[in-house]
Amino acid sequence: MEREENGVLRAQNERLLKENMLMKEILENAKCLACWGLSIEDVEKHKQSLQQLKLENALLKEFQLNKKKKIIALLQEKDPGALLEFTIVAEMEREENDVLHAKNERLLKENMLMKETLENAKCLACWGLSLEDVEKHKHSLQQLKLENAKLKYKSSYLIDEASKLAKRYMEQPMSQPDELQLDLLP
């Protein structure tokens, strides 16, 4: 029974080690959890690998359940030699289990610490926004640039018209205010 748990713990420790190495790399490269500096394809690959890990986890749980059933069947046979061997193996696996639990706990704490660090860091590329928010931000930035260009065009047009108007009235002789005709726009 401990053997299956040890196998599960080993698999979990291996997964945590990989995840921790990935997070260390992310921290070193100053990328955030929201975008990781990845393309959409890379994010999809990450989601697929996460689904694969979940599937492996489900398979390990099923394997563990089958092993428990086999052990129960062995104990029901009441073979003294098998029971003694089982007891010795169980004790050894229990010790290994304790070591693996300690390592697992350490890795989980390290993992949580790195996740917290990453969550609190702000990415210069996306400002810690979700991919959807990044796309909205890009769209609104494009809209603002377009509006800015329109306003610049209008202001240059108005400046040109104002300078034409000033030039026209500077060339005309001074007349009384009631005689002035102000055509600001053609």
Note the pLDDT tens digit of each residue in 47-106: 777 777 777 777 777 777 777 677 666 666 666 676 677 777 777 878 888 888 888 888
SS3 breakdown of the chain: % helix, strand, coil, rounded to 5?
A: 80, 0, 20
Q: Give the separation between CA 158 and CA 166, rounded to whole angstroms.
A: 12
pLDDT over threshold 60, residue 32:
no
The per-residue pLDDT of the chain, averaged, comes to 72
With 0.85 as the threshold, say if the pTM is over it.
no
In whole angstroms, how far apart are CA 83 and each of 73, 87, 96? 12, 6, 20
Q: What is the dihedral of CA 35, 40, 42, 43, to 10 degrees?
A: 60
DSSP string, 145-183: HHHHHHHHHHHHHHHHHHHHHHHHHHHSPP--GGG----
Which pLDDT score, from 0 to 100, does residue 13 have?
83
How confident is the model over 105-143, as pLDDT tens digits? 888 888 787 777 766 665 555 555 655 666 777 788 888
